[in-house]
Structure 1
Amino acid sequence: MFIKTFKKNYPLQLLLLTIIPLVMWASALANPPELNKSIFDMPFYNLLYSFTKDYRLFATITSFVLIFLQAIALNYLFSENHLCQKNTFLPAFIYIILMSCSRESMTFSSILFANMMIIIALHFFFKCHDKKEGIDEIFNASFFLALATLFYVPSAFFMLWMWGGFVVYKLYKWRSWVMSLFGYLTPFMLIVIYYYLMNKNIITSLFFNVEEWIQIDFNFLNTPIQVVYISALLLYTVPAIFKTASSRSNRIIEYRKKSGVLLVMFFIAIIPFFLSKTQTNMSFVFAIPLSFFLCNLFLENPKEKYTNMFLLIFILLSIFKVYFQV
């Protein structure tokens, strides 16, 4: 039922893309949670938080809209780069489900805004594959990764993703690597100049929680439903990645390169995942690459009956987690 819909029925896809997320968000819309705050929040998010912390309903509604728009943008990005079918919204649907994994996460958080910047960075990084050198695109991609870091500091690890992407694209010229550093450092230089002119302590403003950033945290397995959810996500992820990796040799070069970039992104995301102290929304860091891998798993499986069942289990488990996590 679901798989056939996401392959052919465009209007029904849009209906599912709206109704199921609204079911998941109904509780938060009725009683909005407090805005998220974590030790990884950076100046851009802290500024936003200071203006909106007393407007819970506004934050929840805006977060829902932002996630929906991010999902549509990501879906368009995948289809335009020949990573998925043009007539499916399944990547967008999966992204929304992954980004709605907990009621407490249905509001503003630094990861939410960081993901928005990372999606834009991914757009530019995909574009640089289509150019001879793509210097401008590399600068733009690293610039937006810096903006992501200025919302949520573990996003800095995604510079390793970009450099890994250079290897996938076979971009070994020194100009590409240097330009990525220039692009990444530019927003920080502007921030440093601002703090200097405002006579603020730069170290205190940017790195006041630095001693806590490197503490690995395994407390995300603190409730039974969280254990079940993470275990199920792992059971879905392993075959999804294997299926994507094993089928790359039969695809066009563009698909092999760009899917390779998403594989690198997934493995780099493991680092901020284990650093995360924001237990309710830490799966956000995987949402971008996972929406692609899970889409492949569901759409390219010839046994549609079982695929429908697995997708339904994934949806029901996500809804159950939202309403019954204690």
Structure 2
Amino acid sequence: MIGQFRSLNFINLFVLFFLVYILRIGLYVQLPESINTGFSEVGNRLLISQSDTIFTPFTNVTLAAIVVFIQALLFNRIVNTFNIIGKSTFLPALVYIVSSSVFTPFLFLSPPLICNFFLLFMVYRILAPSKDMAFITTMFDLGMVTAIGTIFYFPFIGMILILWLALLIFRPFNWREWIAVILGFCTIIFFLGVYYFWNDKLAAFYAIWRPLTSAFPIFVRIQLQDYIVLLPIAIGLLLGFYHLRENFFKSFVQVRKTFQLLFFIFIIAAFTFYLKPDYRINHFHLAVIPVSALLAYYFLQANKKWFYEPLFLCIIGFVVYFQFV
């Protein structure tokens, strides 16, 4: 399968669409009676009364599959446009779809999944070439995007650090660009605050930011059997890191900087879970983009077919199997 997706073959689009639903077959067979997706929090934040069961389980899973498929194509376009892995292929889309299906909660439509649209847009705008004055505008826009993403899913506020890290990695220091990030973010938050004020809910507006005062947890309870599915992915990531290290200084400067940015996205996505009091595993949807980039890099660089093909099939097998157990 990896060999098939190493080329830009139009038929791969149909295979990808089919694969999205194959990876959800266990869920379609055993649909839950109801799904608590977390969208009620978005409604509460916008002072709109909304139930978490706005969609039936079947509709929710189907819409999530369509969203993942669209995001995979967008991610694939970004990777190919900026030559991140060294060749134009459908591997990024393939790996993105698989990575977005690792855990059963990933298969539902949820705020973190929607926030990946914002994150993809941010990565694209950061990598897209622009002139100095235009980049100030870009940072202002991305500050607003981060604020909108924060309204959808509060831990997304951590991505404001990504914008500053991107400035450190890609740009010479320009204080206007750094300030533009804050101004863009505060613009959306200001209008949100005015909206709360008009509705006489200013105390609720202050409560939105309370998680920022939470202490980082020292202990996190982990059920190891729930994470066995990550074993083949971890192997792929380690091998991808090995190949990246081998070729790091042979790559274009832009590619090296891009992988540094993706690394920081992974770190921030991994460590902002504590900003949500009722933490759910679907938070780690935010880490799918950097994980997919590194896995795609490995599967493109790997030359031992007898190993990388079974490894990928093992990942798919684990994903489907653990939906039934």
Residues 123-145 of structure 1 deviation map (CA, whole Å, 9 limit, x = unaligned):
21112x44335112112222212
Name structure 2 gaps, 5 residues minimum: none
Indicate yes or no: 2:291 matched with 1:290: yes
Secondary structure of the structure 2 residue equivalent to 1:50: coil
Q: Which residue does 1:236 correspond to in 2?
A: 236
Q: Which residue does 1:89 correspond to in 2?
A: 90
Asked if the contact 2:106–2:285 (Cα under 8 Å) also holds between the matched residues in 1, the reply is no
Indicate yes or no: 2:15 matched with 1:13: no
What is the number of residues matched between the two proteins?
319
Kindly tell me: are residues 114 and 263 of structure 1, through their superposed partners in 2, closer, same or farther at Cα, counting changes over 3 Å?
same
Name structure 1 gaps, 5 residues minimum: none
Residues 217-242 of structure 1 deviation map (CA, whole Å, 9 limit, x = unaligned):
623x3251x23123443333233234
Q: Which residue does 1:165 correspond to in 2?
A: 166
Q: CA RMSD in A?
A: 2.9
After superposition, where does 1:1-326 map in structure 2 within 5 Å? Answer: 2-8=1-7, 10-29=9-28, 31=31, 33-37=34-38, 41-43=41-43, 50=50, 53-56=53-56, 57-84=58-85, 87-127=88-128, 129-133=129-133, 134-203=135-204, 206-207=207-208, 210=211, 214=215, 216=217, 218-219=220-221, 221-222=222-223, 224=225, 226-273=226-273, 277-324=278-325
> How many angstroms apart in 2 are the aligned matches of 1:177 and 1:9?
38
> How many angstroms apart in 1 are the aligned matches of 2:48 and 2:127?
30
> How many angstroms apart in 2 are the aligned matches of 1:163 and 1:315?
36
Higher helix share: 1
Asked if the contact 1:91–1:291 (Cα under 8 Å) also holds between the matched residues in 2, the reply is yes
> How many angstroms apart in 1 are the aligned matches of 2:21 and 2:313?
17
> How many angstroms apart in 2 are the aligned matches of 1:46 and 1:67?
25
Asked if the contact 1:241–1:293 (Cα under 8 Å) also holds between the matched residues in 2, the reply is yes
> How many angstroms apart in 2 are the aligned matches of 1:48 and 1:63?
23
Secondary structure of the structure 1 residue equivalent to 2:85: coil
Kindly tell me: are residues 139 and 43 of structure 1, through their superposed partners in 2, closer, same or farther at Cα, counting changes over 3 Å?
farther
**Greater mean deviation of Cα atoms: 117-126 or 130-139:** 130-139
Runs (4+) off by over 6 Å? 44-49
* Aligned-partner residue type, residue 136 of structure 1: T
Give TM-score scaled by structure 1 length: 0.86
Asked if the contact 2:35–2:52 (Cα under 8 Å) also holds between the matched residues in 1, the reply is no
Asked if the contact 1:43–1:206 (Cα under 8 Å) also holds between the matched residues in 2, the reply is no
Give TM-score scaled by structure 2 length: 0.86
- In the TM superposition, residue 155 of structure 1 has moved relative to its aligned partner by 1.1
Asked if the contact 1:101–1:281 (Cα under 8 Å) also holds between the matched residues in 2, the reply is no
Secondary structure of the structure 2 residue equivalent to 1:83: coil
Residues 78-104 of structure 1 deviation map (CA, whole Å, 9 limit, x = unaligned):
111111366422111211222222334
Secondary structure of the structure 1 residue equivalent to 2:24: helix
Residues 160-185 of structure 1 deviation map (CA, whole Å, 9 limit, x = unaligned):
12211111113311011000111122
* Aligned-partner residue type, residue 307 of structure 1: Y
